[in-house]
Amino acid sequence: MDRRGFEPTWEWTGWDLNPGLPACKAGDLPLIYRPRRAHSVAAQMKLSAGIRGPTGLNAYPHPWDEGAMGRAADRALRWFVGLSLLAGGLVLLAGAIEFGTLGGPIWVIPLAGVVAAVLAILTAAAEGGPRSPILPASAWIVSVLLGILWARLDSAGHAFLSGYAAIVAFGTGIGILRRQLWAWPVALASVVGFGPIVLVLVAQLPTAAVVAGFALFLVDAVALLAIHRSYFEPR
């Protein structure tokens, strides 16, 4: 212990080990110790703990830490988005039935159901495990984009997309309500990407319904961006 009652700790420093050699060789011949005061170590540990917080580093801090919405508001927005996607899927399906866009080869609608079932199995296998949600989310998004391309090239694709888009919207709404990680990017892609495309090109709804749908897409997009921090927090 030194005169002030502190017990020094010791560390190696490159230049102190052998001041006569370059830094890359100084560690070969240890010659000198440099003490570090215990109180400075404690101060650094305290500062580090204050930066990390009680639970360590957190890429998504609690919303109230930054003066954002509380958990109750986040939950309400998540339920709003999920229920609106469920309702949107039903509206797309009802519109497709009413305006006859589901007509086509008899195998088209079963194909949409089979593709959705395969992706649902893939998603369920990845849920809750160590795998990233990127794979199931990308699979859902790519499948809809391929359906849009098929609808542009062939009338059978038009019928496929009419049914498949409704299934995807409904399934994504359930995923949002259950707070599944794959559902957030699919929901965002739905409301800002292929959702409006399907609404305009496939559903053939009245103008008032299309305008209302675009307004709902806008609200859903803002809500998804607002809840993204709490959505991806550890459960």
If you average pLDDT over residues 5-29, what whole number do you get? 52
Mean pLDDT comparison of 70-79, 147-156, 171-180, highest-scoring range: 171-180
Q: What is the pTM of this model?
A: 0.66
Per-residue pLDDT, 131: 66
Cβ atoms of 180 and 189 within 8 Å: the answer is: no
pLDDT band, very low/low/confident/very high, at 198 (cuts 50, 70, 90): confident
According to the 3-state scheme, what is the secondary structure of 164-207?
HHHHHHHHHHHHHHCCCCCHHHHHHHHHHHHHHHHHHHCCCCCH
Question: In the prediction, which pLDDT does 3 show?
Answer: 54
First vs last C-alpha separation in the chain: 47
Q: What is the pLDDT of residue 33?
A: 46
142: pLDDT strictly greater than 70:
yes
pLDDT tens digits along 105-140: 788 888 989 999 999 998 888 876 666 788 899 999
